[in-house]
Amino acid sequence: MLSTMQDVPLTVTRILMHGVQVHGRSQITTWTGEGEPQRRSFAEAGTRAVQLANALRDELGVRGDDRVATFMWNNAEHVEAYFAIPAMGAVLHTLNLRLPADQLVWVANHAADKVVIVNGSLLPLLAPLLPKLTTVEHVVVSGPGDRSLLDGARPRVHEYEELIADRPKTFDWPEIDERQAAAMCYTSGTTGDPKGVVFSHRSIYLHSMQVNMAQSMGLTDQDTSLVVVPQFHVNAWGLPHATFMTGVNMLMPDRFLQPAPLAEMIESERPTHAAAVPTIWQGLLGELTAKPRDVSSLTQVTIGGSACPPSLMEAFDKLGMRVCHAWGMTETSPLGTIARPPAHAIGTDEEFAYRITQGRFPAAVEARLSGPGGERLPWDGESAGELEVRGPWIAGAYYNGPDVEPLRPADKFSEDGWLKTGDVGTISADGFLTLTDRAKDVIKSGGEWISSVDLENALMSHPDVTEAAVVAVPDDKWGERPLATVVLREGSTADFESLRAFLAGDACRIAKWQLPERWSIIAAVPKTSVGKFDKKVLRKQYAEGELDVTQL
């Protein structure tokens, strides 16, 4: 028996049309660094998206599923591209501007990008790569920047504003199959070449609905979200699409991502919500500590990308900013869990314990834990295994190039199609995920596992430690032992013995056999292109004798 419901495709086009028609007064505010920020309503941005679509089709010859890349900061023009490109039936490809040059070239060629839309301030990064981008036919430049860097460039160069000016303000949007590609992102390539993840219109639509649920970010048109997480990082965690669905105002930082301008934005524009990785919030906390600002409007902060140290969460609680922990990855669109404590824990000693987990799975994300031999482990909060997930916004394969079968490597996908996340953790009986490590980062010492994340969080709760990263290093007796690398606050007198004693003390209660013997002070923890700790760099530095290591 079939249903009597209408079969209406779930597409990015419908999100765009709804945002323009129903939430046309909502605003995208782009920080300019000096003077008045640029302000554009959803209705205005929607009209410009229509004009961009006309220009891409009529002037640049974009057709079908041609890939149109963006090499841009978070700003209103980038949002326009977010909607124009997939709505016209093409595929948005957000290039990660923090990838190494060779990986950027590989990614653009692998995706077969036809057009690149770039912010003028990023031309020094893009221009040297253009001779190697074999499929790019057009470069569209938006905003101030040195155009002379493009002199003699092989692709045709266009000005964004001139390109869309006087274009028709209507577009005959095609009726797109919701399963068709809308956007693509590449993983950060921490192991091997980056891998392409292609999001469908359907997956983006359903993911946007989840972002907006009360048990998720739960924002409304009364909110303003400071979108710090880059638009090239898994579609800014789905916020540009989700905001057009519910009318949430967006505050876009453009290239001004340093702690001081972020603090100024919060004080000036009064956002109620913000989203970014922990390293951004570590820097902002330091700025607010050194120079207090009125940040009272910002009551909700979504942190993901890597584990948030409990000490950082507590520090922001004192400032009135409630941190909500989330977990996800490129392959999960990215929202996989979010840590809203259950009703019975609110106001009790259990509440914080729930908040420092990675969070609870929504209905659309199925999860399971696999042991070392592939056995299924119970949801008991104690049995630790590799997390595997599936759902309508979870990748089932990687993009393997034009006219090539999707790539399903055995180390990333199970035989029955579940995504192997590479994260190790436990799941409670009520569906809350606690990650103890990445499978590649867990320290295997004498047949036992030591969580590098637990050690890092404990170290970063010390008042003299601003950052800490712990990696496994070879040990003749135990196989592997932890190496603790720490960034100390300016003027700190802490030494390794006192830090080790702190870990063993009442504040942390780290078991004696897990305490690091090897220690090193570093200027900063190396970061990946999306702000995560890059532990492979530390392991390489240790192996090549580049770290000044003290063994206790």
- pLDDT single digits (tens) 121-146: 999 999 999 999 999 999 999 999 99
* Banded pLDDT at 447 (limits 50, 70, 90): low
Instruction: Say which residue the tokens 């504003």 belong to.
Output: 161
Query: Is 187 annotated as catalytic?
Result: yes
- How does 371-383 read in b/e, with b if 16+ C-beta sit within 10 Å? eeeeeebebeeee
pLDDT tens string 357-388: 999 999 999 999 998 788 999 999 999 999 99
| Catalytic, out of 106, 173, 379, 449 | 449
Q: What is the rounded average pLDDT for all residues in the chain?
A: 94
Predicted pLDDT of residue 78: 98
**Chain centroid offset of residue 417 CA:** 24
Query: Is 73 annotated as catalytic?
Result: no
Sign of CA dihedral 488, 493, 494, 495: positive
Q: How many CB atoms lie within 10 A of CB 192?
A: 8
**Position 256: which residue type?**
F
Residue 33 has pLDDT above 70, yes or no: yes
| Catalytic, out of 287, 331, 386, 456 | 331
Share of the chain above pLDDT 90, in %: 82
* Banded pLDDT at 190 (limits 50, 70, 90): low
Residue 493 has pLDDT above 80, yes or no: yes
Residue 309 has pLDDT above 90, yes or no: no
| Catalytic, out of 70, 187, 332, 466 | 187
Query: Is 269 annotated as catalytic?
Result: no
Predicted pLDDT of residue 426: 96
pTM of the model: 0.87
Helices (H), 27-100: 42-58, 76-87
54: Cβ contacts below 8 Å, ≥ 6 apart: 164, 167, 168, 171
**Chain centroid offset of residue 34 CA:** 27
pLDDT tens string 261-283: 999 999 999 999 999 988 899 89
Residue 469 has pLDDT above 80, yes or no: yes
Q: Name all domains of the chain by residue range, CATH numbers in brackets.
A: 7-23+32-214 (3.40.50.12780), 258-439 (3.40.50.12780), 441-551 (3.30.300.30)
Predicted pLDDT of residue 189: 56
Instruction: Average the pLDDT over 178-182 and give the result.
Output: 98
* Banded pLDDT at 436 (limits 50, 70, 90): confident
Predicted pLDDT of residue 442: 79
| Catalytic, out of 444, 448, 546, 550 | 444
Residue 191 has pLDDT above 70, yes or no: no
For 328, phi and psi rounded to 5 degrees? Answer: 180, -175
Burial class of residue 303 in the structure, from the number of CB atoms within 10 Å of its CB (0-12 exposed, 13-18 middle, 19+ buried)? buried
